[in-house]
Amino acid sequence: MWVAALLLVTLLGTGLVFLSPDRYAGKLAAAISAVPALGSIYMYWVYLTQYGGTGNALLSPADIAFGQQLPWITLGELEVSYYVGLDGISMPLLALTTVLTTLAIVSAWTPIDERQSQFYGLMLFMEVSLIGVFSALDFFLWFVFWEGVLIPMYLLIGIWGGPRRKYAAIKFFVYTNVASLIMFAGLFALVFSTDLTSLSLPAMAEAFRTASGLPTIAGMNLMTISFIMMFFGFAVKVPVFPLHTWLPDAHVEAPTPVSVMLAGVLLKMGTYALLRFNFTMLADTARQLAVPLAIIGVVSVIYGAMLALAQRDLKRIVAYSSISSMGYVILGLVAFTPYGMGGATFQMIAHGLISGLMFMCVGVIYNTTHTRMVGDMSGLADRMPWTVGIFVAAAFGYMGLPLMAGFAGEYFIFQGSFNAPTLGGAAPVLTSLAMFGIVIVAGYLLWAMQRTLFGAFSLETDYEVSPAAFHDVAPLAVLLLLVIALGVAPDLSFAMIQDSISPVLEIGGGA
Partner 1 sequence: MAAFTYAPAIVLLPFVSFLVALFAGDRMPKGGALAGITATGGSLLLSIWVALTVAGGDVHNEILYQWTTSVETLQLNFGLLLDPLSALMLLIVCLISFLVHIFSLGYMNDEGETGLPRYYAGLGLFTASMLGFVVANNLLMAFMFFELVGLCSYLLIGFWFRDDGPPSAAKKAFLVTRFGDYFFLIGVVGIFATFGTGLFAPITQGGEVVAESFPMLAEHAIVDGETAGIAMLETVGMGPQQWFTVLGLLVLGGVVGKSAQFPLHTWLPDAMEGPTPVSALIHAATMVAAGVYLVARMYGFYALSPTALAVIALIGGFTALFAATMGLVKQEIKQVLAYSTISQYGYMMLALGSGGYIAAVFHLTTHAVFKALLFLGAGSVIIAMHHNENMWDMGGLKDRMPVTYWTFLAGSLALAGIVPFAGFWSKDEVLYEALIHGFGTEGGLGTAYLIAYAMGLLAVFFTGFYTFRMVYLTFHGDARSDTARDPEPVRWNVKGPLTVLGILATTIGFINMAPVAKLTGAEIDFLHKWLNGPENGGWPAALNTGLHHYEGLLHDVSHVVKGYPLGETPTLLASAGVSLGLALAGVLVARTLYAGADPVEHTDKLGGLKTLLMHNYYQDEYQVWLATGVTYPLARVMNKFDQGVVDGVVNGISSVSLFGGSRIRRIQSGVVSNYATLLTLGLVLLLAAFGIMGGWF
Q: Judged by CB under 8 A, which of 15, 292, 375, 428 binds partner 1?
A: 428
Q: How far is the CB of 488 from partner 1 (least distance, A)?
A: 8
Q: How far is the CB of 446 from partner 1 (least distance, A)?
A: 4
Scanning 265-376, the segments in alpha helix (DSSP H) are 267-273, 283-288, 290-309, 314-335, 338-369
CA distances from 178 to 145, 184, 366, 386, 437 (A): 16, 10, 33, 43, 30
State the Cα–Cα distance between residues 367 and 115, nearest whole angstrom: 18
Q: Is residue 235 at the binding interface for partner 1, with CB under 8 A as the rule?
A: no
Q: How far is the CB of 192 from partner 1 (least distance, A)?
A: 25
The residues in 10-69 that bind partner 1, with binding defined as CB under 8 A, are none
Q: How far is the CB of 155 from partner 1 (least distance, A)?
A: 20
Do residues 196 and 204 lie in contact, with contact meaning Cβ atoms separated by under 8 Å?
Answer: yes
Q: Is residue 381 at the binding interface for partner 1, with CB under 8 A as the rule?
A: yes
Q: Judged by CB under 8 A, which of 401, 465, 484, 507 binds partner 1?
A: 401
Q: Is residue 443 at the binding interface for partner 1, with CB under 8 A as the rule?
A: yes
Q: Is residue 425 at the binding interface for partner 1, with CB under 8 A as the rule?
A: yes
Q: Judged by CB under 8 A, which of 310, 375, 460, 469 binds partner 1?
A: 310
State the Cα–Cα distance between residues 271 and 348, nearest whole angstrom: 8
Q: Judged by CB under 8 A, which of 165, 171, 268, 276 binds partner 1?
A: 171
State the Cα–Cα distance between residues 43 and 244, nearest whole angstrom: 34
Long-range pairs of 317-321 with CB within 8 A, sequence gap ≥ 24: 317/374, 317/444, 317/445, 317/448, 318/251, 318/263, 318/355, 318/358, 318/359, 318/362, 319/247, 319/248, 319/251, 319/252, 319/259, 319/263, 320/248, 321/355, 321/398, 321/441, 321/444, 321/445
Contacts of 481 (CB under 8 A, 6+ apart): none
Q: Is residue 325 at the binding interface for partner 1, with CB under 8 A as the rule?
A: no
Contacts of 287 (CB under 8 A, 6+ apart): 336, 422, 508, 509
- Omega before residue 467 within 30° of 0, cis: no
Q: How far is the CB of 502 from partner 1 (least distance, A)?
A: 9
Q: Is residue 76 at the binding interface for partner 1, with CB under 8 A as the rule?
A: no
Q: How far is the CB of 107 from partner 1 (least distance, A)?
A: 23
Give whichever of 160 and 175 is closer to partner 1, judged by the CB atom: 175
HSE-CB at 351 with a 13 A cutoff on CA atoms is 29
Q: Judged by CB under 8 A, which of 439, 460, 463, 481 binds partner 1?
A: 439
Do residues 414 and 340 lie in contact, with contact meaning Cβ atoms separated by under 8 Å?
Answer: no
Give whichever of 256 and 502 is closer to partner 1, judged by the CB atom: 502
Q: Judged by CB under 8 A, which of 108, 191, 282, 438 binds partner 1?
A: 438
Q: Which of 384, 443, 247 is nearest to 326 (CA)?
A: 247
Q: Is residue 379 at the binding interface for partner 1, with CB under 8 A as the rule?
A: yes
Q: Is residue 111 at the binding interface for partner 1, with CB under 8 A as the rule?
A: no
With H, G, I as helix, E, B as strand and everything else as coil, classify residue 302.
helix
Stretch that binds partner 1, among 3-11, 156-164, 238-246, 291-299 (CB under 8 A): 238-246
Q: How far is the CB of 506 from partner 1 (least distance, A)?
A: 14
Stretch that binds partner 1, among 94-102, 153-161, 440-448, 478-486 (CB under 8 A): 440-448
Give whichever of 36 and 338 is closer to partner 1, judged by the CB atom: 338
Contacts of 183 (CB under 8 A, 6+ apart): 229, 230, 232, 233, 234
Q: Is residue 458 at the binding interface for partner 1, with CB under 8 A as the rule?
A: no
State the Cα–Cα distance between residues 355 and 322, nearest whole angstrom: 7
Q: Is residue 460 at the binding interface for partner 1, with CB under 8 A as the rule?
A: no
Q: Which residues bind partner 1 (CB under 8 A)?
A: 171, 174-175, 241-242, 244-246, 303, 306-307, 309-311, 338-339, 342, 379, 381-382, 392, 396, 399, 401-403, 407-408, 411-412, 414-415, 418-419, 424-425, 427-428, 431-432, 435-436, 438-439, 442-443, 446-447, 449-450, 453-457, 489-491, 494-495, 497-499
